Structure 1
Amino acid sequence: MDTSTSSNPLGKDNTGQQWHHSLVWRIILYFAIASVTLSLAISAIIVAWNYQQQTDAFAERLESIAVGYSESLGSSLWFYDEVQIRTQVKGIMNLDAISYVRVTDNLNLNIEDGSRPHHGNIDTIDIYFNDKLLGKLEVAFDHDAVFASATKTALSNMVAQLISMLLLASLLALVVHRLINARIRHMALEVNYRINNDSFVPLSLRESDAHDEIDILVHAFNALSAAMNDELQQKTQAQQQLRIMNAELEDRVGERTQSLQRTVDELNQTLQELHSTQGKLIEAEKLSSLGGMVAGISHEINTPLGLCITIHSYINDHYQQMRTLFDKGEMTKQDFEDFIRMMEESLGILDKNLQRAAHLIKSFKQVSEDQTGEHIRDFSLKEYLTEILETLSPKFKQTKHTVEIDCSEQLRMSTYPGAISQVITNLVMNSLIHGYEDKNDGVIRIVVAEERGNAVIRYTDDGKGLSEEARQKIFEPFYTTKRGQGGTGLGMHLVYNIVHQRLKGEIFLDPDYQSGAGFRLLIPKKIDN
């Protein structure tokens, strides 16, 4: 097969710059790693095997020492021939791999030669003469020298194996390069050249007689290039047709654009008319809403003004009584003190309710949110709830309804107190007007708890409750069950706006309460200006 690249039009081959990505290089690398790993494993096995062989040889040698020297050492110890004993110790030390020898008797004889190793590496042989134990022979073998010898042998074998394996890897790499790598690289260069130049003629690299995997790949690429060449010709024809169609389309777009522009002008004119009509409808709706709100003022301020009238009548009655007593000269100091105390209480109630009426009138000017003009201040919620109910106390004197407050005295808030007053007052008045319409007694409960920086207020009454329609629409503006009877439907809508916009909280019907009306309010204890 011809793999020559002398007439290759592909330009400069940069394969030398990417040698580390070459398949041949990876084969050599993987083969070298495998060879080193295998050689190390084999060398370790050889070292262990040699060491075990030497250890077994030591055991045999120790047995021969016991047989060959035990009797002569026993005779020398019996006759206390120290010269002969030292000669025999020297003879044992001259044996292969012996590193330490020591002879001791039962008295004070101690003859040794060599460096004493750890006691665990010393073998002891008893010395007898005429079946009598005379002493001990201690022998230690040089395990380090044996291990070094075994390692040296293993390293020699490993080096020989590595050299042979590396030579084999080089030969394998050469074969892979000639049979696979060079042919694949040449084919890849030709394919890249055809892609960059939009040419899909068959490859110059032809199939060989071997019909191997590379030949199958060359055949597949040639078939692919022929198919792509046909597709390229079809694409060229399609582009020419597309240019003609684009020219025709531009003419049509020009005509349609003019027609569309006329339609847009007509739509703009219609849109302006719609905006004008919408503005008129919005103004009409505003006037309608304003009329409804003005009609609802009497309902909303009826309570504070009614209380003021009641207190005024109450003060006038006491005043007439005091004047009669004064004119008759029958007024006592106690009568005057009672009158002063009554006046202080009544004037306080009048002041609070007149301020309340002023707040309500100002609140109705901005139905979307409560802007009472108050500043944020710190106050005790329980004390403030008690103060709100005190302003409503004349209203409760006419009925048997009671209000129970369950709130910690330590709970303090930094928010708009007037907004809370307006919310609680509206809820109480709704209970009295709607919940207890046909009931002259009942209990209203206000339970307050703390939850993650919020005050959770649960307001409930045991009145007649809410219909399904009322539950769905209670917070909608102008929804009321008293239409034509003085109801405007702005009370609960105003409460909703105050809680959400002024107090930055939430209010919703309590789904767990079914005996009457129940609301849950989640109000931050502290809000910023």
Structure 2
Amino acid sequence: MAHEINNPLGYISSNINRLEEYLNDLFAYVEELEKQITQSEIVDTDGVINPSLEALKAKFDYAFIKQDLPELLKDCVEGSVRVQGIVENLKSFSRMDDAGKIIEFDINDAVNSTLKLVHNELKYNCDVELDLQSSLKILGHYGQVNQVISNLLVNASHAIKDTGKHGTVSIKTWSDDHNVYLVVKDTGKGIPEEIVDRVFEPFFTTKDVGKGTGLGLNISYDIIVNNHGGEISVESEVGKGTSFFISLPDCNPGTHQEEFDGG
């Protein structure tokens, strides 16, 4: 899909740039025509511009068009650049070219890529605080890990929105000799103690009817535990927020390959 979007977008961007060149030439052409007209034809004896010329320019809103068109083209260029950025983020998010292969990647790259993609979901409800330890390599499915991070961030945003207050989402990464760790913490409404242990069950959701499928966290559990040999857990307190803890094996193909092979 990203490639299909990129092709026509490339035509649009190229044509907008060409259109801007044509318009600049047309404006220059009109100005040159005005200069070429003799003063006697456009200015009367009192030095006033011939009203017929001014009326013609006013009829076609020439002054407004000349002023507004560059702004319109600028907005179009900025819009196309933003769409291109979204497409690139989608490609990075899914790593389509890897075709689901197991690869080595930095967990921080996955965090930053996902943040760009869900930025609009977060910006209205919360601030994001990052505490990312440098260079934390893991071996796995990049797109799947991004999906987990996306699920956690979107859930955090919704939990904060339900409080009616602007909140904070904190993301922290670090490692030890065996694992890479990721924590996503929010200041949302929290999950009651009696149901917090059920959040990874399929079709279980704390959201109102019609607002959630109950599959996001179950899928996240499956990706982290079954597909990557890691662990995911949750801690929550009503009125204070929720934290999700993820651990993944560090990047050591010889040690962890069997986990991706169903071992």
TM range (shorter): 0.5 to 0.7
Q: Which has the higher contact order (CA 8 A, sep 6+)?
A: 2
Counterpart CA distance in 1 for 2:95 and 2:103 is 20
Q: Which of the residues 59, 77, 86 maps onto 1:340?
A: 77
Equivalent residue, structure 2, for 1:485: 210
The one-character-per-residue Cα deviations of 1:26-75 (angstroms, maximum 9, x if unpaired) are: xxxxxxxxxxxxxxxxxxxxxxxxxxxxxxxxxxxxxxxxxxxxxxxxxx
Counterpart CA distance in 1 for 2:92 and 2:177 is 33
Aligned residue type for 1:384:
A
Q: Is the contact between residue 236 and residue 242 of structure 2 (CA under 8 Å) also seen in structure 1? A: no
Distance 1:380 1:482, change over 3 A: closer
The one-character-per-residue Cα deviations of 1:316-367 (angstroms, maximum 9, x if unpaired) are: xxx9xx99xx6935477787566434412322214544896999xxxxxxxx
Distance 1:487 1:470, change over 3 A: same
SS at match of 1:449: strand
Q: CA deviation at 1:514?
A: 8.2
Counterpart CA distance in 1 for 2:94 and 2:208 is 23
* Superposition pairs of residues 172-321 of structure 1, within 5 angstroms: none
TM-score by length of 2: 0.62
1:502 equivalent to 2:227? Answer yes
Q: Is the contact between residue 459 and residue 519 of structure 1 (CA under 8 Å) also seen in structure 2? A: yes
SS at match of 2:241: coil
* Superposition pairs of residues 119-138 of structure 1, within 5 angstroms: none
Equivalent residue, structure 2, for 1:464: 189
The one-character-per-residue Cα deviations of 1:483-502 (angstroms, maximum 9, x if unpaired) are: 53232211111111111012
Note the residue ranges of structure 1 that are not aligned, 5 or more in a row. Answer: 1-307, 360-371
The one-character-per-residue Cα deviations of 1:384-422 (angstroms, maximum 9, x if unpaired) are: 31121011112234x141111211223233322111111
1:406 equivalent to 2:131? Answer yes
Q: Which of the residues 381, 389, 398 maps onto 2:107?
A: 381
Aligned residue type for 2:81:
E
Counterpart CA distance in 2 for 1:373 and 1:469 is 41
CA RMSD of aligned residues (A): 3.8
Q: Which of the residues 165, 168, 173 maps onto 1:443?
A: 168
Q: Which of the residues 420, 424, 428 maps onto 2:149?
A: 424
Counterpart CA distance in 1 for 2:249 and 2:73 is 47
The one-character-per-residue Cα deviations of 1:430-477 (angstroms, maximum 9, x if unpaired) are: 112234313241110111110222111121101111112321211111
* Superposition pairs of residues 114-153 of structure 1, within 5 angstroms: none
Give the number of the structure whose residues are more often helix, by fraction: 1
Equivalent residue, structure 2, for 1:525: 250
Note the residue ranges of structure 2 that are not aligned, 5 or more in a row. Answer: 24-61
The one-character-per-residue Cα deviations of 1:78-135 (angstroms, maximum 9, x if unpaired) are: xxxxxxxxxxxxxxxxxxxxxxxxxxxxxxxxxxxxxxxxxxxxxxxxxxxxxxxxxx
Counterpart CA distance in 2 for 1:465 and 1:512 is 5
Q: Is the contact between residue 419 and residue 503 of structure 1 (CA under 8 Å) also seen in structure 2? A: no
Q: CA deviation at 1:482?
A: 2.9
Counterpart CA distance in 1 for 2:176 and 2:158 is 32
SS at match of 2:195: helix
Total equivalences in the alignment: 198
Counterpart CA distance in 1 for 2:133 and 2:178 is 15
SS at match of 2:100: coil
Distance 1:469 1:373, change over 3 A: farther
Counterpart CA distance in 2 for 1:331 and 1:453 is 60
Distance 1:499 1:335, change over 3 A: same
Distance 1:483 1:512, change over 3 A: closer
Distance 1:373 1:350, change over 3 A: closer
TM-score by length of 1: 0.33
SS at match of 1:348: helix
Aligned residue type for 1:393:
H
Aligned residue type for 1:383:
D
Distance 1:382 1:465, change over 3 A: same
Q: Which of the residues 121, 143, 161 maps onto 1:395?
A: 121
Q: Is the contact between residue 95 and residue 142 of structure 2 (CA under 8 Å) also seen in structure 1? A: no
Alignment identity in percent? 24
Q: Is the contact between residue 503 and residue 523 of structure 1 (CA under 8 Å) also seen in structure 2? A: yes
Counterpart CA distance in 1 for 2:94 and 2:218 is 18
SS at match of 1:468: coil
SS at match of 2:133: coil
Q: Is the contact between residue 376 and residue 414 of structure 1 (CA under 8 Å) also seen in structure 2? A: yes
Aligned residue type for 2:86:
I
Q: Is the contact between residue 415 and residue 525 of structure 1 (CA under 8 Å) also seen in structure 2? A: no
SS at match of 2:194: helix
The one-character-per-residue Cα deviations of 1:197-232 (angstroms, maximum 9, x if unpaired) are: xxxxxxxxxxxxxxxxxxxxxxxxxxxxxxxxxxxx
SS at match of 1:517: strand
Aligned residue type for 1:496:
Y
